[in-house]
Chain A
């Protein structure tokens, strides 16, 4: 029987395994160094915040794997022998495969800052990071202040986590407004204010120069590049993005660049080896997407797709309209289609913000054709299905704004803002 081995038990590896199992009775083994069972990485923060126990982050009960005849193996792969089709583990074991799926995810970026490997300096990616955090920042008497470096989605989650335990946080963001490489200015500024309302010390346009150590090799303070200011702290979180976790593959025959290079069929240059999820790098971005997409949904979709290919229905990875979501402290964010931080050529943004400063939307459309291109929504939930349909049908922006009530997904009895949005939109049209 063909043996499919998957390195990585994250969302991509597990989705691939589940779908292969649905389509066939091939032998399946999932290898992981991190944990025995699949857990939801996106939920790690809630464990530290006390919303959930770690076991709640596991989407399947422990019996699930055996029942579905999926073998789990814990261990760190440190070499792939593509000639012999063998994996070598740290500790000397090995495992043969017929087909291999690489789904090893990401690791936090470190940009060579002095002191970046000190005790108390950490990324926020793996379960081990969470354990580390619990050690260095269990409460605000052991951790008197934490500094977070890097204003992205993981950075703000880490800030929220520490905040939940009343640990003072200084949040260093290189950009002059939070995540404004992705978010349009109005949205980004609203989030700046929201962060500050949570008593987080947000420092914009601020870079880390170095991390200083005490006599025991533990972090003591950090120095800010621009001002030279020294901030005492007991924990430094490095959250300046992630890169594919593929160091152990670099010296194999498998082609890599930043990630493992794959074609549209998620195949690497070596036959029978595939790569999916955070660690896979497309030769070219698909429909305006990046070549590496480190998001949950991409991992899942690639897993769904590669399972088809492996079960003899060779299928190109062909994702639909872009969508994503996040939560910035108390403000939920969803996006459908493309809204860039600044309108591109022939594009314009319509921005509406509620006076309470926790809700806003930005709609992007083409100025020549009026075609609706995408929407960012903050503090108002909207329907994925409807926007997906509108994007496919290439609706124009007037249609979308006039039909917004159909897309509303807020709980019942919530105040509705569509009328206000519509009148703002009409006003704007008149003034243009």
Chain B
């Protein structure tokens, strides 16, 4: 039976899916583009780097564009999930594993062995793949490429081409199209082009992707970064203030009005890649209750780690210049503790009943953080906090969370664990936004009365592994901290049961036992109990 035909290492796909010749040609074109990049990786000397780089990228674009047009435009508008679980690439089959291994290896080399990509060290010229991108980098900012420039370019290309594919796939769905255009724009402009231009204007400014917020860009409050900003005059200071305002002011307001989706599926680059290049893998996320439990522990642990790490970092360098800056260590720690306490008491006062059992875990987490901070303050010396170097914490975070989790596992494992592994299990920013979404936001997914037929399309295609059906079949709205508001559950639902909405906070969470359509007295009796 069809449902047994996956997770195998078999190369043969079920013969149900015969690929049209046009799609085969498209794939060939795309692969020639990739092949050129591979040649560059092996240090092939091209007659003209300019020409071949342009050619390689153009072939990638053309390949995906032809493929998408042939897949979607030849059919009527509608849901295009036919054969998803038959294709080996999207059902953890042979090609899925191969792709996973290739991506993971690429990330490992990128983060840990950039010299294999051709990065020139000690003033040498770049070679290999990185050298191949020199012309583009020089064109944009006048400096030679780095591994991050190569990565950023490929990342942006991926979001653009697969974004185009996604827009065609959902050409009947304006919500999907608009948010995809939005992530394509933010990636191209904010993450890719503007930082390059900023460098041209002022080469002292640290790399700053304006849309990326702490704690996602955990490095923004690093000493070199803050120094970089402060030493670049007003514009630097403006950026630093913008960074602080965006997390403490802008983000809470937008999340209150629209839910965390405004960021996670309209702006964020990680989300952008997941929604475009990762779209073919969304069904692979685990919907098990056990996965949800792991998720909640993991993501909140990362959040606690990132708060402590950042505080420790700032704390350490605040100590250097004794009192020539108004922000002293004592004041800083008090501010952090004050802010955390404010949030904590607010939640306990107003939202205790909504949290239920989780309130206890929240309380424990809160007190642990406070204790750790106090401990830090009273045991800290100039550059040691709790007898460890503050910078060691920072490097550990950068290595394990910033590189291995978000990159190697987060993206490398797309074809195995689904496209939002990082967003779901690791991203501290998602944890903060999610916390707010669960408690202080107008956003919810409304369930349409009794219309659900428990088919499971929504749960299957939820990239965050939310068992949407579990709510829908009870007629209960979905108010989950992890929901990124991608809207795919609502799109694939064959009965029009789900709608993403911003509405009033009252009655947002509405557990039901008896659904609309039955005896009104019975509904009253059971649901009001």
The CA of A332 and the CA of B498, in the complex, are separated in Å by 13
Residue contact A56 to B500, C-beta cutoff 8 Å: no
| Chain B residues within 8 Å of A61, by CB | 288-289
Interface string of B491-521 (1 = CB under 8 A from A): 1101110011100000000000111111111
Query: Is the C-beta of A428 less than 8 angstroms from some C-beta in chain B?
Result: no
Q: Find B517's partner among A59, A130, A301, A392 (CB 8 Å cutoff).
A: A301
Residue contact A327 to B516, C-beta cutoff 8 Å: no
Q: Find A42's partner among B178, B453, B516 (CB 8 Å cutoff).
A: B453
Q: Find B76's partner among A197, A317, A413 (CB 8 Å cutoff).
A: A197
Residue contact A164 to B83, C-beta cutoff 8 Å: yes
Residue contact A42 to B86, C-beta cutoff 8 Å: no
Q: Which residue of A lies closest to B90 (CB)?
A: A50
Surface stretch bound by B, among A133-141, A174-182, A272-280, A338-346: A133-141
Query: Is the C-beta of A304 less than 8 angstroms from some C-beta in chain B?
Result: yes
Interface string of B1-34 (1 = CB under 8 A from A): 1110010000000111110000000000000000
Residue contact B14 to A139, C-beta cutoff 8 Å: yes
Residue contact A53 to B518, C-beta cutoff 8 Å: no
Q: Which residue of A lies closest to B18 (CB)?
A: A166
Query: Is the C-beta of B282 less than 8 angstroms from some C-beta in chain A?
Result: no
| Chain B residues within 8 Å of A414, by CB | 173-175
| Chain B residues within 8 Å of A59, by CB | 454, 456, 469-470, 473
The CA of A388 and the CA of B448, in the complex, are separated in Å by 11
Determine how close the nearest CB of chain B comes to the CB of A326; give it in whole angstroms. Answer: 8
- Work out how many contacts link A and B, with CB atoms closer than 8 A: 190
Query: Is the C-beta of B85 less than 8 angstroms from some C-beta in chain A?
Result: yes
Query: Is the C-beta of A383 less than 8 angstroms from some C-beta in chain B?
Result: yes
Query: Is the C-beta of B459 less than 8 angstroms from some C-beta in chain A?
Result: yes
Query: Is the C-beta of A110 less than 8 angstroms from some C-beta in chain B?
Result: no
Known contacts A40-B456, A134-B2, A384-B450: A49-B499 contact under CB 8 Å: no
Residue contact B517 to A384, C-beta cutoff 8 Å: yes
Give the bracket for the number of chain A residues in contact with chain B. 35 or more
Determine how close the nearest CB of chain B comes to the CB of A18; give it in whole angstroms. Answer: 9
| Chain B residues within 8 Å of A138, by CB | 14-16
| Chain A residues within 8 Å of B469, by CB | 59
Interface string of A306-340 (1 = CB under 8 A from B): 00100000011111110101110110101000000
Residue contact B451 to A51, C-beta cutoff 8 Å: no
Residue contact B82 to A164, C-beta cutoff 8 Å: yes
Known contacts A51-B460, A409-B499: A415-B174 contact under CB 8 Å: yes
Query: Is the C-beta of A385 less than 8 angstroms from some C-beta in chain B?
Result: yes
Residue contact A413 to B175, C-beta cutoff 8 Å: yes
The CA of A325 and the CA of B516, in the complex, are separated in Å by 14
| Chain A residues within 8 Å of B178, by CB | 413
Query: Is the C-beta of A126 less than 8 angstroms from some C-beta in chain B?
Result: no
Residue contact A320 to B457, C-beta cutoff 8 Å: no
Residue contact B85 to A411, C-beta cutoff 8 Å: no
Residue contact A320 to B516, C-beta cutoff 8 Å: yes
Residue contact A388 to B85, C-beta cutoff 8 Å: no
Determine how close the nearest CB of chain A comes to the CB of B105; give it in whole angstroms. Answer: 29
The CA of A352 and the CA of B460, in the complex, are separated in Å by 35
Q: Which residue of B lies closest to A22 (CB)?
A: B513
Q: Which residue of A lies closest to B487 (CB)?
A: A411
The CA of A296 and the CA of B452, in the complex, are separated in Å by 9
Residue contact B451 to A411, C-beta cutoff 8 Å: no
Query: Is the C-beta of B522 less than 8 angstroms from some C-beta in chain A?
Result: yes
| Chain B residues within 8 Å of A409, by CB | 446, 448, 496, 499
Query: Is the C-beta of B388 less than 8 angstroms from some C-beta in chain A?
Result: no
| Chain A residues within 8 Å of B175, by CB | 411-414
Query: Is the C-beta of B490 less than 8 angstroms from some C-beta in chain A?
Result: yes
Please report which residues of chain A, range 373-432, place their CB below 8 angstroms from some CB of chain B when the two chains form the complex.
381-385, 388, 392, 409-415
Query: Is the C-beta of B234 less than 8 angstroms from some C-beta in chain A?
Result: no
Query: Is the C-beta of B455 less than 8 angstroms from some C-beta in chain A?
Result: yes
The CA of A130 and the CA of B172, in the complex, are separated in Å by 30
The CA of A164 and the CA of B175, in the complex, are separated in Å by 26
Known contacts A323-B517, A325-B496: A51-B85 contact under CB 8 Å: yes
The CA of A384 and the CA of B517, in the complex, are separated in Å by 9
Can you list 30 A-B contacts (CB < 8 A)? A11-B454, A40-B455, A43-B456, A46-B455, A47-B2, A49-B81, A49-B83, A50-B87, A51-B82, A51-B84, A52-B85, A54-B1, A54-B3, A56-B460, A57-B455, A59-B454, A59-B470, A59-B473, A134-B1, A165-B17, A297-B517, A301-B515, A316-B519, A323-B449, A327-B495, A384-B448, A385-B449, A409-B496, A411-B490, A412-B174
Binding site for A on B (CB under 8 A): 1-3, 6, 14-18, 76-79, 81-87, 172-175, 178, 288-289, 446, 448-451, 453-457, 459-460, 469-470, 473, 487, 490-492, 494-496, 499-501, 513-522, 526
Other than the given A50-B83, A61-B289, A320-B519, 9 more pairs (CB < 8 A) read A11-B454, A49-B81, A51-B81, A52-B460, A59-B469, A138-B15, A329-B76, A334-B451, A385-B449
